[in-house]
Chain A
Amino acid sequence: MFDLVLLGDVLAGTARLGTPIAFAALGGVIAERGGLYNIGLEGQILAGALGAAAGSFATGSALIGLGCGVICGLISGLFLGYMSIRLRINQLVGGIALNLLLAGLTAFLSRQIFGAQAGGARVEGFTQIHVPLLSDIPVLGPSLFSQDPLFYLLIGMAILAWYWLMKTPKGLDLRAVGENPKAADLAGVPVFRMQYLAIAVSGALAALAGGHLVLSQVYVFAEGMSAGKGFIALAAIILGRWSPLGAVCAALFFGFCDAVQFKLQFTSPEVPYQLFLILPYLASLIALVLLATKASAPAGVGRPYDREHR
């Protein structure tokens, strides 16, 4: 019986810890399928978190806060897009620069908005939604059907992203741009417009991760609160093999490992909890080496498209 309680705890923790990683990973998949690395996920999570906190702080509405966060994410995505698509700066350098910039800027702006008070200002957040009947199922119920609204939003977004990318003509266009921009261009696909769209959506999804951190987890904005989740998301993209649903599953696996190591630190201090921290990275690495064939990563990712270039 105790073990079931423990399992329920870990599953609930998995959903809570995995959701932000999953949003960011979903964003990363959209960008990479369009041929752009989004190394700036980490910074965009922070932008989304600050936007969400500021919006909710100003209006007292978590929903408006989430909207503000998404707008911040869109803008930061478009800025990265400008660097990658228009200026053709190396996408890794651009992403690293964006992360540095947004880490500083969000810290600066948060002190302008909330003042220097320790702990920051508490903002209005989301409350959990208990799905009637289903949430009463033992073990699974509380973890799957008593989550905050953003967890359900994540599931919806993941299915939507999968459908759009795999089943609609526009999604096919985007994948064509990611695989071979020249061919897509010749076939009449507006390459740059598709890429801007992808990177903006990518930034918005990463911002939802930040929104989850602020509005569903801690209800304050804290400097550097993304704490590497944007980089973990990059690993989840690989483990999920560049598929929206795969990346979300991979991100939830990362969340599961994190939840297990938290539990272990309390229940069994003799087991090195770091093992569970290393496990997801190791799994991604092995997946990258063993599973990744040339077909899984978009062929054109990371290479700026130049119409004049033969």
Chain B
Amino acid sequence: MNSLTMQRRVAIALLLALTVGGFLILIDGHNPFAAYKVLFFESFLDYWGFSNTLVKASPMLLAGLAVIIPMRAGVFNIGGEGQIYIGGLFGAIFALALPDLPGVLGVPLIFLSAAIGGAFWAAIPAYLKAYRGTNEVIVTLLMNFIAIHIVSYAVAGPLLAEGAPYPYSDEVSEAYRLPILMPRSDAHAGIVIGLAMAIILYFWLRFMPSGFQLDLVGRNARAAAYAGVDEKKTIIRAMLIGGSLAGMAGAIEVIGLKYRLFHLFSDGYGYDGIVVAFLAALNPIVAPLTALFLAGLSAGAGTMQRAVGVDSSVIEVVEGLVVVFVAAALVAPRNVSKSFLKTLLSQGLNSRSEHSEKKEA
């Protein structure tokens, strides 16, 4: 399936999801066209609305890339949420421990520390997957909950700000705060970091041998082994990169938006990343668009409720339908050659363990 028909399929799937959502809006007693007009106008064309969209799009984009890179090597990273939390924790600890560095030094080091935190959290499932054949989906899922509770402990205990009414840490110093892109709004420079990563990763996958190895392992682990690619190392590399990207999303939330570490500071961005990645058909350069789309939907949902009176839960339904329809469209059998994505979408989960079993036998 070439990329044009794939994009057409995604577009049709999006339209279908919006149409079903439209019927729900109609049931709710409102005009779907008016509601959608408000939704998209407020999230993309209005100054304040667009700044909200950007604020949500930044972590979603990085979380999406954190799913895309491992997935290209055939590894399903459901652990973005936990990696965001540990990344945010590491970033916040660094920022609070060394509050007096100049910003040009401190901010990159905070990102580095957050990336290390996320990579560390991803290294555990990566090692278990590569060397023990343990299912990464379940391990990453379990580790999400552990990470959330670790952060909850940290902000209620060792990092708790003095006199805080509920669990949060001290503020990070002003020198470390990300610059604001749109004056008087919350839209911070996080989106620029996400965009830069998307571009770098696109070129890395496309033109660098180490990037190409990811696809090789993801498409056909046995062929990769014959070509001399170390499958285990490739899996671990992909997961470490994924974890560091999600960790950076955590840092963005801390030093870009909230300036503190909060209990439950990520609102499911790790899971949104899975949707971003699938809508982008695992292409990093498309991920900024799908992250913006998804962020716009969720930022506009509240406005739509206030302005038109349509229940914002309709938008959640639309998001779920988008995933269903897009996934169905991508694996639909008509005119489809055995494409990479199709294989991954339908069998990605266990193909790896199957290969390694064969090798052992």
Contacts and interface: CB of A to CB of B under 8 A. Distances in A.
A80 to B, nearest CB: 10
A284 B141 CA distance: 11
Residue among A97, A107, A278 having the largest count of chain B Cβ atoms under 10 Å: A97
Interface in B129-161: 132-135, 137-139, 141-143, 145-146, 149-150, 152-153, 156-157
B323 A93 contact: yes
A93 B345 contact: yes
Interface in B302-318: 311, 313-318
Q: Quick one: which of B156, B313, B350 has the most chain A CB within 10 A? A: B313
Contact of A91 (B145, B311, B328, B349): B349
Contacts of A130: none
A275 B133 CA distance: 28
B278 A285 contact: no
A94 B332 CA distance: 14
Interface stretch (A12-20, A165-173, A177-185, A288-296): A288-296
A102 B320 contact: yes
B76 A234 contact: no
Given A93-B323, A103-B320, A303-B349, A289 B134 contact: yes
Interface in A24-72: 37
Interface in B325-360: 327-328, 331-332, 344-351, 357
A235 B332 CA distance: 32
Interface string B271-295: 1001100100000000000000000
Contacts, number: 146
B350 A272 contact: no
B146 A278 contact: yes
Contacts of A94: 324, 327
A309 to B, nearest CB: 9
B347 A304 contact: yes
Nearest to B17: A101
A91 B331 CA distance: 12
A96 B128 CA distance: 23
A110 B329 CA distance: 30
A92 B347 contact: no
Contact of A272 (B139, B153, B347, B357): B153
Given A92-B349, A100-B320, A101-B324, A108 B311 contact: yes
Contacts of B138: 234-235, 238, 288
Interface in B19-58: 24, 27-28
B332 to A, nearest CB: 8
Contacts of A99: 320
B142 A281 contact: yes
A102 B78 CA distance: 19
A297 B323 CA distance: 28
A100 B145 CA distance: 18
Contact of B316 (A100, A111, A294, A297): A100
Interface string A93-135: 1101111111111011001100000000000000000000000
A92 B134 contact: no
B6 interface: no
Given A92-B78, A104-B314, A285-B139, A278 B149 contact: yes
Contacts of B137: 92
A37 B320 CA distance: 18
A301 B347 CA distance: 11
A157 to B, nearest CB: 24
A75 interface: no
B319 interface: yes
A242 to B, nearest CB: 12
A112 B28 contact: yes
A93 B276 CA distance: 12
Contact of A274 (B152, B271, B319): B152
A81 to B, nearest CB: 13
Contacts of A142: none
Contacts of B323: 93, 96-97, 100-101
A100 B319 contact: yes
B321 A101 contact: yes
B324 A284 contact: no
Contacts of A235: 138, 141-142
B157 A272 contact: yes
Contacts of A225: none
Nearest to A96: B274
B327 A281 contact: no
Interface stretch (A82-90, A194-202, A203-211, A243-251): A82-90
A189 interface: no
Contact of A104 (B27, B78, B319): B319
B328 A89 contact: yes
A288 B146 contact: no
A8 interface: no
Contacts of B313: 104-105, 107-108, 111, 223
A281 B350 contact: no
A139 B85 CA distance: 40
25 contacts: A83-B324, A87-B327, A89-B324, A89-B331, A90-B344, A91-B349, A94-B327, A97-B321, A97-B324, A98-B320, A100-B275, A101-B316, A101-B320, A105-B313, A108-B24, A108-B316, A108-B317, A223-B313, A235-B142, A278-B146, A288-B142, A294-B133, A297-B135, A302-B350, A303-B350
- 8 A-B pairs with the lowest CB-CB distances in the bound complex, closest first: A104-B316, A101-B320, A100-B320, A107-B313, A104-B317, A97-B323, A274-B153, A302-B349
